Amino acid sequence: MRDTTSMLPLIVRDLRLEMDGRTLLDVPFARIQNRQRNVILGPNGAGKSLFLKTCHGLIPPTSGRIEYTLPVSATEVRRKQAMVFQKPVMLRRSVRANFTHALAMAGVGWYERRRIADETMAQFGLSGLADSPARVLSGGEQQRLAIARAASLGPDLLFLDEPTSSLDPTASRQIEDMLDVLHERGVTLVLTTHDLGLARRFADVIFFFHNGRLIEESDAERFFTQPETEEAKAFLEHRLFW
């Protein structure tokens, strides 16, 4: 079901990122499909976070291109995507103000901001925390706030960098529920994780990174049953033996 109004799929071509003479990313080709749940796997330091940031436009690549299907302006691209960081940034303000600030930056008007903020908080069970300072929230609450805040911007494409790391099972579950809601809403999700359980339950497509290179991009089903590369095999086995 091809959505003709979406700027997706996003296509990455010949992407290279070099810093201090090191090649940190080398992705000849990658395609992020509309409305799919894309999960990026790989060991620590494989380049997962850098890949997300580069796709999101925070880091300019050394060479290569990131293309959208529709010819869209840079501002529009920015408006239609959002990102949740590995260490969520909490403004030194109340939870509600964290929402209204993000919405204000996105150009949403004064009353509309408060309405959307309250609505989103209600949706994701954050209403009770609305007036708490964001920085005293627990790690799980902060993660939920970060995701809900990104969701309140109404993006078509949402990047999430390890949204469940260092959370207990219940909190992880809550995050997963949030992701399901967003998926059902039609948001295209790209996330990294070290939680293979989450990846199995959640992923439509797996991207496997190793040493900065994208070495496998396949259907989740196939990736977990018959991984193509030795590296992916080893990665999965180590994990499974845990």
Partner 1 sequence: MQQDAIPISSILSLLTGDGGNFLGIILLSLQVTITAVTCAGLVGLPLGAGLALVRFPGRTVIIVLVNTMMGFPPVVAGLAIFLLLSRSGPLGDLGLLFTPKAMMIAQFVLVLPIIVALTRQTIEDLWTEYQDHMTSLGAGRLRSIPTLLWDARFSLVTTLLAGLGRASAEVGAILIVGGNIAGFTRTMTTSIALETSKGDLPLAMALGVVLMSLTLVINSLAFGISRVGARFSGKS
User: What does the binding site for ligand ATP look like in residue numbers (CB under 6 A)?
Assistant: 19-20, 24, 42, 44-50
- DSSP tag of 129: G
Assess 165 for contact with Mg ion (CB under 5 A). Answer: no
Binding segment (CB under 8 A) for partner 1, from list 1-9, 26-34, 64-72, 91-99: 91-99
User: Least distance (Å) from ligand ATP to the CB of residue 45?
Assistant: 4
Nearer of residues 21 and 71 to ligand ATP, judged by Cβ: 21
Binding segment (CB under 8 A) for partner 1, from list 29-37, 129-137, 202-210, 218-226: 129-137
**Going by C-beta distance under 8 Å and a sequence separation of 6 or more, which residues neighbour residue 239?**
196
Assess 213 for contact with partner 1 (CB under 8 A). Answer: no
Strands 188-192 and 157-161: parallel
Report how far residue 107's alpha carbon sits from residue 214's, in angstroms, rounded to the nearest whole number: 36
Assess 130 for contact with partner 1 (CB under 8 A). Answer: no
Binding mask 149-168 for partner 1 (x = CB under 8 A): ----x---------------
Distances (CA, A) of 114 to 52, 65, 80, 152: 30, 37, 20, 11
Nearer of residues 33 and 49 to Mg ion, judged by Cβ: 49
Nearer of residues 44 and 225 to ligand ATP, judged by Cβ: 44
- CB-facing half-sphere around the CA of 241: CA atoms within 13 A: 6
59 within 8 A of 86, measured Cβ to Cβ: no
46 binds, among ligand ATP, Mg ion, partner 1, none (CB under 5 to 8 A by kind): ligand ATP
Binding mask 39-68 for partner 1 (x = CB under 8 A): --------------x--x-x----------
Binding segment (CB under 5 A) for Mg ion, from list 33-41, 46-54, 175-183, 204-212: 46-54
C-alpha dihedral over 103, 109, 112, 116, to 10 degrees?
0
- CB-facing half-sphere around the CA of 180: CA atoms within 13 A: 9
- In 3D, which of 194, 195, 222 has the Cα closest to residue 206? 222
User: Least distance (Å) from Mg ion to the CB of residue 22?
Assistant: 16
Strands 63-68 and 10-19: antiparallel
Give the residues lining the site for Mg ion (CB under 5 A): 49
